[in-house]
Amino acid sequence: MPRPSVSEEAKAQLEAVVEERADVPAHHLTFEQQVPFVLTELEKESNQNDSGGLLS
């Protein structure tokens, strides 16, 4: 069974969010570290308001 993959566009969006919101540069984090960070940020934002989403 082939491994699932993530598009380069999705990776770039994740990295942009991390770059904007994290205390460290995005390139210091692995993709596996960026994903939970962005999910946590999404959760925080959704609890604060209904702005249309972090990745829009």
How many whole angstroms separate alpha carbon 42 and alpha carbon 51? Answer: 11
Tell me, yes or no, whether 30 lies in a domain. Answer: yes
Q: What pTM was computed for the model? A: 0.71
Phi and psi, residue 55, nearest 5°: -95, 10
User: How many folded domains does the chain comprise?
Assistant: 1
Residue 54, pLDDT above cutoff 70: no
The pLDDT assigned to 29 comes to 94
The single-letter code of the amino acid at 42 is: L
Tens of pLDDT, residue by residue over 6-53, are 899 999 999 999 999 999 999 999 999 999 999 998 888 887 766 555
Cα 43 from chain centroid (whole Å): 11
Tell me, yes or no, whether 23 lies in a domain. Answer: yes
Full residue range of the structural domain in which residue 17 is found: 8-51
